[in-house]
Chain A
Amino acid sequence: MAGFKIIKPGIFSLLQDSGRFGMHSIGLTTGGPMDTQSFNWANRLCENLTDCAAIEVTIGGLVLEADINTSIALTGADIPLTINKQPASLWQTHHINAGDRIELGFAQTGSRGYLAVAGGFQAMPSFGSRSTVPREGLGGLHQNGKPLQSGDQLQCPDVTTLPPSQCLPESQRPILTDNNSAHLRMVLGYQQDAFNSLQQQLFFSSEYKVTESSDRMGYRLNGPAIVPAVDGILSEGICLGAIQVPADGQPIVLLADRQTIGGYPKIGSVLSLDLGKLTQLTPGGTVSFEAISIEQAHNLLLLNQQQVEHTKLQPVTGGSNG
């Protein structure tokens, strides 16, 4: 099997599939993409199943060389892409020939890009998933949790019928705001009652800044402190998007590589559909929150699924990569 050679890994590039599930009882987190929608579109553009492994490129700088004829697509953050020094569009499938050099610049807007290949990047799964979790030393190309490194040889399958050149219509692409801000819908839950109405009003009417200590485990926010009536609880399971509030009153949104259990009170959890918006923010970005009911959340998830299923990719004609 042939594939791609990593010439430069860039700032932080990780092999990710949809995540590691069913392993919380032995303390393993899920991993998986931070911006699931962009990840899914990258796979869809390559006509892959949703759990195919792609590369999550944080900020950028990844350079690869192909030794296979295949197709790729880059989605997510606004990262300049060139194929043999020629600019190439994001959100679009590109045919690649053996010998081609694929270079990613650095994100101008957003923070994470997703590079998928037809058939998906191959690696031995660890606990059912190829997702790389550096903190656990699990998953990834060498099953040791290490980010991609120069010289790594990525294998991908020989796909007999490559996807046509196609793109996701602009209207369907997740919106990256120019002003590095996001409005996040959340479902109240967990210890919501420990936050009295004054604290809740403060939380929902304030803007919070994304701090430097934001990573795949969680985004730490800074803003008006909200104080729960309890400072600690018996450690309990943490779901994706949970908003925990430690003693200093500064919320932390827990993400793909979150710890499985924790003892800080939580006010609720961010809607998964909005986590891409959050995780594309860079430090200094701002967020605000809005509570929705769990019924609304279910409706939004179902609606989104319908929209995704009914979205038609547009054929791309001509040699222009625009």
Chain B
Amino acid sequence: MSASKHTIAIAGENALIIYFGDKLSAEIATQIAQAAEQLKTALGELLVDLVPSYGSLLVTYQPLKTDHYYVRNLIRQALQKLSTEAEHNQGATVSLPVYYSTESGPDLQSLADNAGLSIEEVIAIHQQTEYRVYAIGFAPGFAYLGEVDERIAAPRLATPRQKVPRGAVAIADRQTAVYPAQSPGGWNLIGLCPQRMFDPKAEPTMPVQVGDRVTFIGISREEFIALGGELVSDAKAIGGEA
């Protein structure tokens, strides 16, 4: 991909948004992660914040110290460097353990039924893909991973749950994620991950960042508990709709 494919648009009085493409692609995810790194250096103290996402990067700057012309120029320069370096540095690879079961994943059975697969097949397919971290948002530490194999893609629940437990591994359309904290949610739950995805006291706070690759590795109930995982004893807390 050449740098000419990027477009830069105004988002607000002190924000520009760079569009890299309108489709999910690992190549774009890598470019965005690199552009974010480049712009941190290039903008220095003019930078307020960056929001990398699927196909775009939002750049917020100090409007009293610079203007959008200057920031656009810095962005163009950073993007030019990018096109030659895009082949390198593919991001870190992180593997996350998952206890897949109907006990830890209350939607596993219905997802398998709707897909015309066995539970074992769903679990195997979920582990076969190496996912990309396309975006982080929705809640602190919520990483959107893609793309899920078409065979196990499933639409969001018609009625979202009030409580999805921390660590829930879930699928929505062709995305998958691990819920970093207990929260409401409408994704299909297929298992539990004992690893904390967001810990304000840990360094780093999150095990993944945008552009990283993630694989899931199935573990047993015993391993899950040994790794510090907690099964919510009250089935309603997972079952939700009660």
Contact = CB atoms under 8 A, between A and B. Distances in A.
A239 B60 contact: yes
Contacts of B49: 21-24, 30
A187 B12 contact: yes
Given A22-B48, A137-B181, A27 B13 contact: no
A240 interface: yes
A241 B14 CA distance: 11
* Max chain A C-beta neighbours (<10 A), residue from B10, B56, B136: B10
B48 A21 contact: yes
Contacts of A302: 64
Contacts of A236: 17, 51, 53-56, 58
B137 A189 contact: no
Interface in A201-256: 233-242
Interface string B116-152: 0000000000000000000111111110100000000
A27 B142 contact: yes
A49 interface: no
A25 B136 contact: yes
B13 A297 contact: yes
A138 B200 contact: yes
Contacts of B51: 24-25, 236-238, 260-261
A113 interface: no
B86 interface: no
Contacts of B135: 235, 261
Interface string A134-159: 00111000010000000000000000
Nearest to A298: B67
B17 A240 contact: no
Interface string A257-279: 00111100010110110000000
Contacts, number: 134
A190 B22 CA distance: 14
Contact of B10 (A137, A188, A240): A188
Interface string B22-58: 1010000000000010000000000111111111111
Given A138-B200, A305-B64, A235 B10 contact: no
Give the size category of B's interface with A.
35 or more
Contacts of B63: 297-298, 301
Contacts of A259: 137-138
A234 B12 contact: no
Given A234-B54, A236-B17, A236-B58, A269 B141 contact: no
B140 A269 contact: no
Given A21-B48, A27-B136, A28-B140, A261 B11 contact: no
Contact of B11 (A127, A233, A237, A305): A237
A242 B9 CA distance: 14
A189 B138 contact: no
Nearest to B22: A234
B10 A189 contact: yes
Interface string B196-208: 0010100001100
A26 interface: yes
Contacts of A235: 53-54, 135, 137, 144
A237 B12 contact: no
B210 interface: yes
A21 to B, nearest CB: 6
Interface string B56-83: 1110100110011000000000000000
B104 interface: no
Nearest to B47: A22
A126 B140 CA distance: 13
A310 to B, nearest CB: 15
A269 B48 contact: no
A294 interface: yes
A190 B137 contact: no
Contacts of A136: 139-140
A116 B181 CA distance: 33
Contacts of B141: 26-27
B15 interface: yes
Contacts of B101: none
B52 A25 contact: yes
Interface core residue of A242, A261, A305 (most chain B CB under 10 Å): A261
A187 B10 contact: yes
A269 B11 contact: yes
List 6 A-B pairs, minimum CB-CB distance, nearest first. A237-B58, A237-B51, A269-B12, A261-B137, A239-B15, A189-B10
Interface of A: 21-28, 30, 126-127, 136-138, 143, 187-190, 233-242, 259-262, 266, 268-269, 271-272, 294, 297-298, 301-302, 305
Given A25-B52, A261-B137, A271-B13, 14 more contacts: A26-B136, A26-B209, A28-B140, A234-B24, A234-B55, A236-B53, A236-B56, A237-B11, A239-B11, A241-B13, A266-B11, A268-B12, A301-B64, A302-B64
22 contacts: A24-B50, A26-B140, A26-B141, A27-B137, A126-B200, A127-B200, A138-B140, A187-B12, A189-B12, A189-B15, A189-B17, A234-B55, A236-B56, A237-B17, A237-B51, A238-B51, A239-B15, A259-B137, A269-B13, A297-B13, A297-B63, A301-B63
